[in-house]
Each structure stands twice: as C-alpha cells, then as structure tokens.
Chains A and B, each alone.
Chain A
C-alpha cells in the first residue's frame, strides 16, 4: 500500500508542477511580439516546415551540423545580412532551399524575435 501512496503522491506533484512550469515558470518572456507580427509567426512555421532544427539549435535544442541560432541575429560575426546570404544561396553544408524574398524576411523576423528573448545567453556571454 505505501508504494501506491508514494506513486500517487509523486504523480500528483508532477501534475501540479507541470501546470506551474507551463504558467508561472515560463512567463518571463512577453509573447506580445509574436501575437502582433504575422511575419514572426510565418517565420516560425517555415523554420519548422524546413526542419531547420535538424542542423541548427535554438536554446541548445537541435542538431550540430549547423551553427546555434539563438543569438545569431545580434552576433557581431553574423547578423541579418550574413544569415540572409545563407538563406538565399545555401552554404557548404546547407542546401539551397530556394526561399522567396518574403520567406527569407519572415525567417529573419522569427530569428530576430528569438534573439530578443535570449536574455540568459547574453548575460552569460557578458560574464
């Protein structure tokens, strides 16, 4: 009997913890930019549709064949024009996906939005 009680206690704690994580625990970033901009939403859809996560990472999630993109937008070595060049023509490892100009702008908007949320990255980088 104690085993069943331990299991149920853990399970209830897990359920409550999940709710708290998905509400208060992840509230720190405002989602208003995402709501307001169709370009950001389209950019995210394209990012998923082309499975960019397979080679690139956002917050460390994804493959390692391509560079991490969380702070690519504000990175002095990369930035908007550098990313646009890759999106237009591909690279040594990246296929040319033949994105339209609008699609490239949308993806850049999404990556710019992700960059604005990366406060922990930037704090650690400064330290």
Chain B
C-alpha cells in the first residue's frame, strides 16, 4: 500500500485498462454530443424531429453518459487492483472478454436506438434482452475484482468496501429493474413505477459507490495518509451512504399512490444526508486550505471541484426530498439539475481525477506539458456547468409557476424558452470544456514516454 509504488511498476492488465479508458471517454464524447442535439431540440422543435427525434437522442445520451461513469471506474479498477495487491489481475483474458462484451453490447444498443427498437423503460430504454448481456459483461469484472483482491473485510479500507458494494448492488439493481417482465409487477401501475424508481435509484447509488471508492483511493495515494480511509468516521459515512443507497429512493415516489410508510421511510433516510452536509461544512476550512496547498496537482484540483459539486448537489437533494417541496419540484427540470450536478459535477470530476492520476503515473512528463490545457478545461467546464445547473433550476421554477397558474403545456414551453436557450448554450460550453479534458487525455496517452 505504499503510495509511491505506483510510479515504477507495470502489469499485463495496464494495456487493457488504457483501452477501457479510451472506451470510457468515447462514451462521454458521444453522450455529450447527443446531449447537445437534445438541447437544441428544446429550442428548435423541428430540429431532426423526424429522423433523430428526442425519442432517440435522450436514451442515447442517457445510456452513453451513464456508461461513461461505470466504464471509467472500471478502467481505474483494472489499473489499481494489481497495484493494491502487488500481483497481476486474476484472469487477464476475463478483462479482454469484459471489454469485447461491453463494446459489442454498446454497439447493439446504439443500433437498436437508431432503428427505433426500444424497451421503453427509464434509463434502460433498450430492448430487455440486452440487459442480460450487460450483466454478463460484469461477471468477468466481478470475478477479477474479488479474486484479485481477495478482500479481508475486517481490515480493508473503506474504498474496498465501497467498490465491493458498488459491484454487488449493480447486479442486484439491474436484475431488479427487470422485475416488470413478471406479471405481478407489470399488471399494477403503482408497482411498475415503484420498480423503476426503486431499482434505478439504488443503481445510481451502486455506481456512485464505484466512483467514490475510486476517488477515495486516489485521495489516499495523493496524500500518502493510509489511515484516512480506515477511520471509524470514514466507515460511519460509508454506512450512511449505504443506508441511503438502500432506502432513500422513495423520495422520488411521494406522488405515487404507494403505502404512506414508504414515503415516511424515504423522508427520514433522506434527511440523514444532513449529517454529510454538516460534515462538509465542518471541514470546509480544512478542505479549502488543503485545496490551496495542492492546487498544482491536477487530480487534486478535480477532486476539489467534485467536493464543491457534492456540497451544491447535497443542498438541492435535501431540499427536494422535503415532501411539501417535492410536490412542486417533482417532474421539473430541478430533478434534471440534480442529475446533471451529480453526473457531470461530481462523478465526472472525480473520474477525471482518477483518469489523470493514472496517465500521470504512466507518463508524468507529457502530463506536465499539458497542465495548462487541462487547467483551462477544468475551469471552463465548471463555470459553464454552474450556469447550466442554474438554468435548469430556472426552467424548473418556470414550470412550477406555470403549473400553479394552470397554464397549458404550450404556454409553459413558450415562457421557458429563455431558460432552454441558456441551458443549451451553456451545455455547448460544458462540452467544449470537457472536450479539452478528453483531448488532453488522448494526447497524453499518445505521447511517447521518455526512456528512464
């Protein structure tokens, strides 16, 4: 567990880890492009309406961006696992199998969407059979994780718990999301909607566990403090996060006519996030001082921006979990603001921290040469994302006001045009910022390493 060991060693799985990394950023690039097309469909309704309608752009955008998140986390794990245990991954061919399964499934999904074959479920809008192949792709990943690491959970740091939980719950929640294929669920609209909110709410928690585990690992390596993620406090927050993963999904279903206690449980659990918020505020001065001290480090800078987004998004999450406010915010772009803050602000910043940490270890000189370019990308992304996030909140508030005035949908869309323009144009700038980061990663990977 020596933080400096990463500098010199290389393992047979490094090559495929880099391929996963390139695959992940390809998903991000395509996902962002589809997001921009979707944005323009808000302000120019006829734009590609008959060929690549929103019916196709939204699922493509959602699938590609979500796949970026877990593929980037997997790339990191394939790179970090052998370094944690100082031996190669357990099943190298399994890593390749995972890569080809994932690539094939992605191509099939993209083709299905373009041809108009849908499953019609939120997030999982591809035909249901494909879900089985996604799970199959995760099997070699899980085998490699558990058999390479052989975790001893009595002494393992919290990031190993976090990764293990992420993998376990991805299997559980993806399987759960297909319960609608059974009549007991499909024949009752309340149960059907609950399956989607419950399974998907927890599935988001599962990949957050993978991402946070990765961020904690990188943080440990940067700081060199091996006690940081073995402390009782670290485990307290891990278990708090796990409890939220399991039970807080219900705050999405306040309006669904399920039993009242489902909502009460969700509300109580959601409010425990106040403890996390309190912890962030309590440590704010310390975090700020550390951020200033380590600002020269690209991964640290990205982790710090991730922290800012955790803070902003947590306030929003707690606010929209209050039932009286949720009644108004549910089904508006305020929910989208929360999703974008989480996927771009938190997950993407933390994952880029991991990506730059990996490539910096591989090629420190090339990374140093691109430092200014990366810094520009980080600043552009975060400023534009803040504008994007505020414009989504504005759009949500416009919808609430419109609903209160009982205005028809057409009027609402007309009145929200300025917010739609703002989120589309700021979305383009977010794309430019992230494109700079993507280009930097590719340039650093391609740069020839100076012989040592």
Binding site for B on A (CB under 8 A): 1, 3-4, 6-7, 10, 13-14, 17-18, 21-22, 24-29, 31, 34-35, 44, 47-55, 57-68, 77, 92-93, 95, 113-114, 117-121, 124
Contacts and interface: CB of A to CB of B under 8 A. Distances in A.
Given A55-B54, A95-B55, A35 B235 contact: no
Given A4-B154, A35-B187, A65-B42, A25 B262 contact: yes
Contacts of A92: 45-46
Nearest to A76: B406
Interface in B72-95: none
B311 interface: no
A21 B122 contact: no
Contacts of B261: 25
Contacts of B176: 18
8 shortest interchain CB distances as A-B pairs:
A48-B120, A60-B331, A51-B118, A67-B409, A26-B191, A31-B188, A14-B246, A31-B187
Interface of B: 41-42, 45-46, 49-50, 53-56, 58-59, 118-122, 125, 153-154, 161, 176, 179, 184-191, 193-198, 235, 239, 242-243, 246-247, 252-253, 255-259, 261-262, 265, 327, 330-333, 335-336, 399, 406, 408-409, 413
Contacts of B252: 60-61
Contacts of A55: 54-55, 58
Contacts of B194: 21-22, 25-26
B59 A54 contact: yes
Given A34-B187, A120-B257, A50 B55 contact: yes
Among B54, B197, B335: residue with most chain A CB under 10 A: B54
B258 A26 contact: yes
Among A47, A51, A92, A118: residue with most chain B CB under 10 A: A51
Contact of B185 (A1, A13, A22, A58): A22
Contacts of A18: 176, 198
Contacts of A7: 153, 161, 239, 242
Given A14-B247, A34-B188, A61-B197, A50 B118 contact: yes
A64 B41 CA distance: 12
Given A28-B257, A48-B118, A50-B120, 4 more contacts: A13-B246, A53-B122, A93-B413, A117-B189
Contacts of A68: 331
Contacts of A6: 239
A10 B243 contact: yes
18 contacts: A3-B153, A7-B242, A13-B246, A21-B262, A22-B184, A26-B258, A29-B188, A31-B189, A35-B187, A53-B120, A55-B54, A55-B58, A57-B331, A60-B255, A63-B58, A67-B409, A117-B190, A124-B255
A107 to B, nearest CB: 12
A118 B256 CA distance: 8
A63 B55 CA distance: 9
Contacts of A24: 259
A53 B54 contact: no
Given A21-B194, A24-B259, A120-B257, A95 B53 contact: yes
A58 B239 CA distance: 33
A41 to B, nearest CB: 8
A29 B239 contact: no
Contact of A51 (B120, B246, B332, B408): B120
A37 to B, nearest CB: 11
B153 A4 contact: yes
Contacts of A51: 55-56, 59, 118, 120, 125
A120 B256 contact: yes
B255 A65 contact: no
B58 A54 contact: yes
A1 B46 CA distance: 60
Nearest to B416: A64
B212 to A, nearest CB: 16
A29 B190 contact: yes
A75 to B, nearest CB: 10
B66 to A, nearest CB: 15
Contacts of A54: 54-56, 58-59, 125
B53 A26 contact: no
A6 B440 CA distance: 43
A53 B55 CA distance: 8
Contacts of B41: 65, 93
Nearest to B239: A6
Contacts of A121: 255
A29 B42 contact: no
Contacts of B42: 65
Contacts of A10: 239, 242-243, 246
B286 to A, nearest CB: 26
A48 B361 CA distance: 46
Contact of A61 (B118, B184, B196): B196
